[in-house]
Amino acid sequence: KEVVDREFIPAQEHTKVFEKYRFLINKEADQFVEKFLSEDQQFDDMKAQVVRFKELADDIVYNSRKVIRLGMFELHCDELVRALSKRADSLCAKILIKMSKTNMDLNKGLCEEYEAIAGKALATPANTEQLMELKNYIINVREERIFGLEERIIQAK
């Protein structure tokens, strides 16, 4: 029994290697991502989280030993490594899906605004009064609204 207890110590110590992934193991990362995505986030903030989780997944896969021989024990960590990596990748994917949906919604809104402007600008006025209203509308669009739309296009990139 003493020999087994003594040989077991390095195996227990090895579990500390995975301590830095505790938030993935106990699903704190899942809760963080759910809360993060439920709030209104900037594109750059979401991008930073994608990079964070992608780097974490890469670190897990490439820097974790899958099989370790410690005295009389041989630890097989390949399933743990695979599960942690998969969890980090899935969190990354959740954020990417939200980014994609947000970007599609923004682009759809921009297209609808441009179509509304084009529809009104291409309408044939029935009389001089409507012609003057259309002229004022086009001037307003050219001098004010178009800059806001261009700013939103830049943000959507």
- Both structure tokens of 155: 């943000």
Spell out the alpha helix ranges (H) of the chain.
Answer: 2-14, 22-25, 28-38, 43-63, 78-121, 128-140, 146-156
Mean pLDDT across the chain, nearest whole number?
89
Least confident of 21-30, 60-69, 113-122, 136-145: 60-69
152: CB partners within 8 A, 6+ apart:
106, 110
Whether 115 shows a pLDDT value over 90: the answer reads yes
Q: What is the pLDDT of residue 155?
A: 79
Backbone φ and ψ of 139, nearest 5°: -60, -45
DSSP β-bridge partners for residue 68 = 75
Q: Which residue has the higher pLDDT, 3 or 47?
A: 47
* pTM (2 d.p.): 0.77
Whether 98 shows a pLDDT value over 90: the answer reads yes
Q: Which residue has the higher pLDDT, 76 or 31?
A: 31
Tens digit of pLDDT for each residue in 137-151? 999 999 989 988 888
Confirm if 92 and 54 have CB atoms less than 8 A apart: yes
Whether 119 shows a pLDDT value over 90: the answer reads yes
Tens digit of pLDDT for each residue in 12-57? 777 788 888 999 999 999 999 999 999 989 889 999 999 999 999 9
